[in-house]
């Protein structure tokens, strides 16, 4: 068995694999509230845009991308700049092997180094596997938006979960830093 490795996503190299992993969450269930699965070109643009300010990671096994995790801006207003939204997706045949947890743990470490304070996750309910993963990683439930989205013929609730990346302090925290560049080739 090949080792599982985590690295920064490359928009050109990884977009098609990320699109293939993500598509079932859009097309086959209610995990994502998108109504049309983005193609590789759209995912490439998203990876490039998000990676300018937040980490987008891929997990590989045997040279194949089997999962990805990323963070993005929680809300646009300035006082939210220390909070991020996080997501993780793992290919159907790879779930239950710890890849989602490993991707998230690496993502959280990078977010801490960037000085982000809080990670937020929205989970379409019910989704016991995702709720369990988030709880095991220390997230706490902070609320539910009832019937917030219509998908696949029904209203859907979204539970919101929060993880303190660093302990809260009384003073204004240092400004977030840009993401770490990928290691130099060679």
Distance CA 85, CA 71 (A): 5
Extract the residue ranges of the chain whose pLDDT is less than 70: 1, 182-186
167 DSSP assignment = -
Q: For residue range 112-144, what is the model confidence (pLDDT) as tens digits? A: 999 999 999 999 999 999 999 999 999 999 999
Alpha helices, DSSP H only, in the chain?
11-27, 40-51, 99-113, 128-136
pLDDT in the model for residue 182: 67
Say whether the peptide bond before residue 14 is cis (omega within 30 degrees of 0).
no
pLDDT in the model for residue 145: 98
pTM for the model: 0.94
pLDDT in the model for residue 60: 96
Return the closest-CA partner of residue 16 out of 45, 43, 46, 51.
43
Distance CA 24, CA 2 (A): 25
Domains with residue ranges and CATH for the chain: 4-164 (3.40.630.30)
156 in Cβ contact with 146 (< 8 Å) = no
pLDDT in the model for residue 183: 64
């Amino acid at each position: 068995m090949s080792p599982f490795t985590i690295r920064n996503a490359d928009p050109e190299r990884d977009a098609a694999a990320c699109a293939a992993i993500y598509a079932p969450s859009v097309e086959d269930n209610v995990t994502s509230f998108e109504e049309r699965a983005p193609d590789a070109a759209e995912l490439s643009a998203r990876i490039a845009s998000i990676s300018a300010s937040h980490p987008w990671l891929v997990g590989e096994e045997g040279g194949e991308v089997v999962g990805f995790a990323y963070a993005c801006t929680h809300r646009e207003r300035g006082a939210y700049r220390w909070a991020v939204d996080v997501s993780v997706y793992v290919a159907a045949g790879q779930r239950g092997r710890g890849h989602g947890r490993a991707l998230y743990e690496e993502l959280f470490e990078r977010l801490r180094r960037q000085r982000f304070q809080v990670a937020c996750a929205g989970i379409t309910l019910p989704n016991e596997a995702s709720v369990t993963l988030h709880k095991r990683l220390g997230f706490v439930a902070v609320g539910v938006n009832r019937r917030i989205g219509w998908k696949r013929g029904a209203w859907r609730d979204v539970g919101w979960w929060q993880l303190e990346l660093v302990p809260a302090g009384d003073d204004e925290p240092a400004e977030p830093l840009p993401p770490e560049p990928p290691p130099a080739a060679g």
